[in-house]
Homo-oligomer: A and B are copies of this chain.
Amino acid sequence: MVDHIKVGVLGSGGKVGQAIVDAVRAADDLEFTVGVDRDDPLSDFVDSGTEVVVDFTHPDVVMGNLEFLIASGIHAVVGTTGFDDERISALTTRLADSPSVGVLVAPNFAIGAVLSMRFAQQAAKYFDSVEVIELHHPQKADAPSGTAYRTARLIAEARTAAGVGPSPDATTTELAGARGADVDGVHVHSVRLAGLVAHQEVLLGTQGETLTIRHDSIDRSSFAPGVLLGVREIGSRPGLTVGLDELLDL
């Protein structure tokens, strides 16, 4: 018989929190213990024997939450945003005192997004050309998307490290904007279209062939499988892990 991992959820009153509670409940190998929301005591996790807590709360409270969890010997999987270098450094220090506890902090739990970024990075140096197209719903305020921007930077870094030159481009006459934005030499195009949600294509090309890595996310629930993966793995990864891709076997 397999022991179930006992999982609690912080921020269980929100939409995301509720989706995670549902996902944990639906998983055969996990057991949902308790949800803690704004007014509930963190000690509920200790009382219920929780082994891993998922935290999708708010930058203002997440550091306090983690301090308590680490001190209590409970692992954490964190989707809350706002982890700058200072916070990462503070977390590392804190974890040094509890060498058996693991914490995963990840900006993106959609496995498809994480994999497509990694594959783009790996493939980047083997192709003469690479460009990125991201496509989103028309309510989005920023262009390009944060993911596309990061993807382009990772691609550019990989190409620089390998000594690959810029993508060939003979454009001499351009209607302003046609060739997209330039992110460290990688062209990035942002489409905004009713009927879309969140999509991204990395196009890589060399003589006679192209490779396209496309990610389509049509639903905010797409973070759930990545969160569960984190829950299953973090118990055997003491210390701080940043980014879901660190848990993937690539």
Question: Residues of A with Cβ closer than 8 Å to B?
Answer: 110-113, 115-116, 119, 122-123, 125-131, 133, 135, 138-144, 149, 167-183, 187-197, 203-222, 224-225, 229, 248-250
Q: Which chain B positions have C-beta within 8 A of A203?
A: 135, 191, 193
Name which of A179, A210, A218 has the most chain B CB atoms within 10 A of its CB.
Answer: A210
A217: B residues at CB distance < 8 A: 208-209
Known: A175-B188, A189-B178, A197-B218. A206 touches B138 (CB 8 A): no
Do B191 and A187 have beta carbons less than 8 Å apart? yes
> Are A192 and B142 interface neighbours, CB within 8 A?
no
Q: How far is the CA of A166 from the CA of B27 in the complex (A)?
A: 16
The answer to whether A205 touches B195, judged by C-beta atoms less than 8 angstroms apart, is yes
Q: In the docked arrangement, what's the CA distance between A38 and B13, Å?
A: 35
Instruction: Give chain B nearest CB distance to A79 CB in angstroms.
Output: 15
Given contacts A129-B195, A178-B188, A192-B131, contact A142 B173 (CB under 8 A): yes
Which B residues touch A208, using CB under 8 A?
A: 110, 195, 217-222, 224
Q: Are B110 and A138 neighbours in the complex by a CB distance under 8 Å?
A: no
- Closest residue of chain B to A142 (Cβ to Cβ) is B173
- Cβ contacts under 8 Å, A173 to chain B: 141-143
- What is the CA–CA distance of A199 and B75 in the complex, to the nearest angstrom? 41
A-B interface, 10 closest residue pairs, ranked by CB to CB distance from nearest: A208-B219, A208-B222, A195-B205, A209-B222, A178-B181, A193-B205, A112-B211, A128-B194, A175-B181, A143-B178
Contact partner, A138, options B116, B138, B167, Cβ 8 Å: B167
A119 and B213 contact, Cβ closer than 8 Å, known pairs A141-B171, A192-B167:
yes
In the bound complex, do residue B194 and residue A127 qualify as a contact, i.e. CB atoms below 8 Å apart? yes
Measured in the bound complex, the distance between the Cα atoms of B231 and A155 in whole Å is 25
Q: Are A174 and B143 in contact (CB under 8 A)?
A: yes
Give Cα A218 to B194, complex, Å: 11
Q: Is the CB of B191 within 8 A of A196?
A: no
Contact of A195 among B142, B144, B218 (CB under 8 A): B218
Q: Is the CB of A224 within 8 A of B211?
A: no
- 15 A/B residue pairs, CB under 8 Å, sorted by A: A126-B248, A135-B203, A141-B171, A142-B172, A143-B173, A143-B178, A167-B192, A167-B193, A168-B192, A175-B181, A194-B205, A207-B221, A211-B216, A218-B218, A250-B250
